[in-house]
Amino acid sequence: MKTAIISVIALAVLSLASFAQPKLEIVGGDTYNWGQVSPKDSPLKAKIKLKNSGNQTLNIENVKPTCGCTTAPLDKNILQPGETATLDVTLNVTSRNQEVSKSIRITSNDPAQNLKVLQLKANVVVELEIGPTPYFVFKDMEVGKEAEASLVISNHSKKIVKIESIEITPENFVINIPKKITLKAGESKEIIGKVVPKEAGYFSSKLTLKTDFPDYETLVIPGYGNVKESKIFNN
């Protein structure tokens, strides 16, 4: 009888031991979403809590972010049952309209899932956007020959934007829009820049727009190009 009781107790102890294990939990879920953000909000920051939801010591062995985001060292990586650690996350976003998705891989001694992936998301909205590039690109430039480059300015906000003044350098660089224009919500305008180079070498220009939009009071749009000698003008 005693042997049977001892066997039952031993089985119970072994059964309990099999359920004794650490468990890594990302508090709030495996996805952190900043929602809609502006480029001026970059870098985005967050404090993520990692918790040991198990009943044995949890050892967080490695935290590896993908390109574009960084993490500070954990305040502690050995967690007793019920304890939490703080993961400081920084995510850089670009100045383009896009949905950003990055991830952080977290490895631990959690036997059920030794690798957990934290997804980072954000929707970048540029309310006043210059595209397809934020600068003029002049190609096939030649002394005495008119060169042209264009881009588009788009108002993605829900209000009217007024461009109140325009400054241009150098003097031989001209554009097709007046010094004061209005962009309605959702409206886009093409800006065409033209120049007749006077000498060979590197050419640069600058277009400065002053607006009434608080987040984009000054927009500076540079321009670049390489000017070749002209056989006609040399002769």
Task: Please write the tens of the pLDDT for every residue from 2-20.
Answer: 555 555 454 544 454 457 8
- Prior bond to 170 cis, omega within 30? yes
Average pLDDT of the residues in 43-65: 95
**Residue 42: inside a domain:** yes
Helix (H) or strand (E) holding 232: helix 231-234
Determine the pLDDT at residue 4.
Answer: 55
The answer to whether residues 58 and 71 belong to one domain is yes
Do 75 and 88 form a contact (C-beta atoms < 8 A)?
no
**Residue 219: inside a domain:** yes
The answer to whether residues 160 and 117 belong to one domain is no
CA 34/CA 48 separation, integer angstroms:
12
Q: Is the pLDDT of residue 145 over 60?
A: yes
Dihedral, 168, 169, 174, 179 alpha carbons, nearest 10: 10
Q: Read off the pLDDT of residues 149-180 as tens digits, 9 standing for 90 and up.
A: 999 999 998 899 999 999 999 999 999 998 89
The answer to whether residues 98 and 155 belong to one domain is no
The answer to whether residues 113 and 148 belong to one domain is no
The answer to whether residues 90 and 171 belong to one domain is no
**Residue 2: inside a domain:** no
Whole-model pTM: value is 0.68
The answer to whether residues 147 and 198 belong to one domain is yes
Give the count of domains, the chain.
Answer: 2
Do 144 and 231 form a contact (C-beta atoms < 8 A)?
no
**Residue 14: inside a domain:** no
Helix (H) or strand (E) holding 145: none
The answer to whether residues 59 and 132 belong to one domain is no
How far CA 192 is from CA of 150, 195, 204, in Å, comes to: 4, 10, 15
The answer to whether residues 143 and 77 belong to one domain is no
Question: For every residue of 157-179, which 3-state class applies, written as one string?
Answer: CCCCEEEEEEEEECCCEEECCCC
Q: List the domain range (segments joined by +) for residue 59.
A: 22-124
Determine the pLDDT at residue 25.
Answer: 97
Dihedral, 177, 166, 175, 98 alpha carbons, nearest 10: -80
Average pLDDT, the chain: 89
Q: Is the pLDDT of residue 34 over 60?
A: yes
Q: What is the CATH number of the domain that holds 169?
A: 2.60.40.10
**Residue 209: inside a domain:** yes
Lowest mean per-residue pLDDT among 5-9, 98-102, 186-190, 215-219: 5-9
User: Higher confidence at residue 59 or residue 9?
Assistant: 59
Q: Is the pLDDT of residue 103 over 80?
A: yes
Lowest mean per-residue pLDDT among 85-89, 107-111, 118-122, 230-234: 230-234
Query: At which of 124, 149, 178 does a domain end?
Result: 124
Q: Is the pLDDT of residue 56 over 50?
A: yes
The answer to whether residues 140 and 199 belong to one domain is yes
**Residue 13: inside a domain:** no
- Radius of gyration from C-alpha coordinates of the chain: 30
The answer to whether residues 72 and 117 belong to one domain is yes
**Residue 109: inside a domain:** yes
Query: At which of 96, 124, 152 does a domain end?
Result: 124
DSSP state of 144: T
The answer to whether residues 32 and 87 belong to one domain is yes
Query: At which of 93, 124, 155 does a domain end?
Result: 124
Tell me the two tokens of residue 81. 């049952």
How many Cα atoms sit within 13 Å of 106 on the Cβ side?
28
Single out the residue of 35, 40, 46, 44 nearest to residue 91, CA to CA.
44
**Residue 187: inside a domain:** yes
